[in-house]
Amino acid sequence: MTVVVTAALVTAILFGAGCQTQKIVDPAKAEIIKNCEMMFIRLKAGDKLAIYDNEFPYLREDVDQETFLKHPMVAKYRVDTLYAMQIDSVTFADTLVGGKRMAVTALRMEYRLKNESLFVQQLNLRWFEVDHKWIKPSSTTMVKQNQFEEDIRIYQEAVKEKEKEESQGSTPDSSGK
């Protein structure tokens, strides 16, 4: 019975209960929702590396996980009062932002305070697609990420040019030398 109920629930969610037409789920939107939910589940469980994992890649080149966790901003970050989180919408930007696809999630966060009352906070979080993955940076910037990517591009071009020169230099010239 549980399997049937679960299957019916999944079918209703994916295809719409009582609808004759099938709803198509945008894979990017589904990934953002999944990543957002996982980030807050991890944070609620005390895993502050969820923040690190959602930063722009250049951070991992400069700062290891242990150092990141010791940073005052991260060390004091707490979500132990988080009671519930609801994603109200995911909206994609019409244009690229810093050369990246961007989306904004509208969230409603509910916190249970010490006196057992609820505090509700509305948030808009910006998500960026980097290396085919949607991330929500907190302490890193698009400017530094773009510079990091440009430095990699310049390095890769220099390596290709050097390899090209070496391959041309290793073949005998027309005089047979």
Region 9-25: what's the mean pLDDT? 44
pLDDT score of 174 more than 60: no
In this prediction, residue 8 carries a pLDDT of 35
In this prediction, residue 17 carries a pLDDT of 39
In this prediction, residue 77 carries a pLDDT of 80
The total of structural domains in the chain comes to 1
Output 10 or 57, whichever has higher pLDDT.
57
Domain that holds residue 129: 25-155
Q: Find the CATH number of the domain harbouring 120.
A: 3.10.450
User: Does 79 reside within a domain?
Assistant: yes
User: Does 109 reside within a domain?
Assistant: yes
User: Does 161 reside within a domain?
Assistant: no
- Most confident of the ranges 76-85, 101-110, 132-141: 101-110
* Mean pLDDT, all residues of the chain: 81
User: Does 14 reside within a domain?
Assistant: no
User: Does 17 reside within a domain?
Assistant: no
In this prediction, residue 102 carries a pLDDT of 92
In this prediction, residue 97 carries a pLDDT of 83
Output 72 or 22, whichever has higher pLDDT.
72
Whole-structure pTM value? 0.68
In this prediction, residue 173 carries a pLDDT of 54
Distance CA 29, CA 121 (A): 22
User: Does 91 reside within a domain?
Assistant: yes
In this prediction, residue 19 carries a pLDDT of 42
User: Does 70 reside within a domain?
Assistant: yes
pLDDT digits (tens, 9 = 90+) for 110-156: 988 888 889 999 999 999 999 899 999 988 877 888 788 888 889 89
Proportion of the chain above pLDDT 90, given as a percent: 42
User: Does 4 reside within a domain?
Assistant: no
